[in-house]
């Protein structure tokens, strides 16, 4: 199995989402020593934002690209190639402002490419990543359960699920550690322990 392991927290040290994704990958590796891991750290290697050149390039045939467009779209081509080469995506991410960090949004803007990762034409739309699965391991300061502080405000899980489903990835598991900030150390520790347990159980299931 080959995975693309993506981390989006701006924090390198002390990041809970990085700890979760690390537990997941380490459990996978312990069960499948031949596991290949392609590592993409969006904090140290943030993808460029889509600008005029990138948007022009993705909406015209490659044969018509100017040298400037080819240069602008090279990052996107490289990211798409890494996604296509993976059997599974492992994404560690925090919730920032109720959604995903801008680096992760930029990553998905690069990944969603008509003709490469999905097809949209007069016959309809279909994703091309149906052979892959994904796990999203997320950390958040507040609690999002029924009646809790941020009930109904989790815009991260449905957004990532929508993008991945659109690209054809139907098997998406979300594992959340929350609340990590506003409910005391005991609640934070319990939330992390429960999420680590879930992450390890899923990694075991992936290698069964
Ligand atoms: C810029 C920023 C925005 C944040 N916005 C939210 C938010 O909207 N909701 C929330 O529950 N926590 C929010 N948090 C708290 C983080 O989700 C929390 O600290 C989480 O543990 C960060 O992930 P990490 O530990 O992997 O760095 C925010 C933190 C930062 C730095």
Q: 80 and 113 in contact (C-beta within 8 Å)?
A: yes
pLDDT of the residue at 104: 98
pLDDT of the residue at 186: 97
pLDDT of the residue at 208: 87
**132 C-beta closer than 6 A to ligand 1:** no
CA of 96 to the centre of ligand 1 (A): 5
CA of 93 to the centre of ligand 1 (A): 9
CA of 141 to the centre of ligand 1 (A): 5
pLDDT of the residue at 182: 87
- pTM above threshold 0.95: yes
**9 C-beta closer than 6 A to ligand 1:** yes
Q: Compute mean pLDDT per 10 residues along the chain, 208 residues long, and list them.
A: 98 97 98 96 96 93 94 94 98 98 97 94 94 98 95 98 98 98 95 98 96
pLDDT of the residue at 206: 97
pLDDT of the residue at 179: 97
Domains along the chain with CATH numbers: 2-206 (3.40.50.360)
CA of 104 to the centre of ligand 1 (A): 14
What are the tens digits of pLDDT across the range 72-83?
A: 999 999 999 999
Q: Which atom of ligand 1 is nearest to the CA of 150?
A: 11
């Amino acid at each position: 199995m080959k995975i693309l392991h993506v981390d989006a927290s701006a924090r390198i040290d002390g990041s809970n989402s990085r700890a979760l994704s690390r537990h997941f990958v380490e459990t996978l590796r312990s069960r499948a020593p031949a596991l290949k891991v392609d590592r993409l750290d969006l904090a140290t290697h943030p993808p460029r934002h889509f600008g005029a050149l990138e948007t022009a390039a993705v909406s015209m045939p490659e044969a018509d690209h100017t040298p400037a467009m080819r240069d602008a779209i090279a990052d996107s081509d490289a990211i798409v190639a890494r996604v296509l080469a993976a059997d599974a995506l492992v994404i560690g991410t925090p919730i920032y402002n109720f959604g995903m960090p801008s680096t992760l949004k930029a990553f998905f803007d690069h990944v969603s490419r008509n003709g490469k990762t999905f097809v949209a034409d007069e016959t309809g739309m279909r994703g091309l990543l149906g052979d892959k699965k994904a796990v999203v391991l997320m950390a958040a300061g507040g609690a999002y359960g029924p009646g809790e502080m941020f009930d109904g405000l989790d815009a991260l899980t449905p957004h990532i699920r929508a993008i991945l489903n659109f690209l054809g990835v139907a098997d998406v598991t979300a594992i959340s550690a929350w609340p990590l900030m506003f409910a005391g150390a005991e609640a934070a520790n319990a939330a992390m322990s429960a999420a680590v347990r879930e992450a390890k159980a899923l990694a075991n299931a992936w290698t069964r």
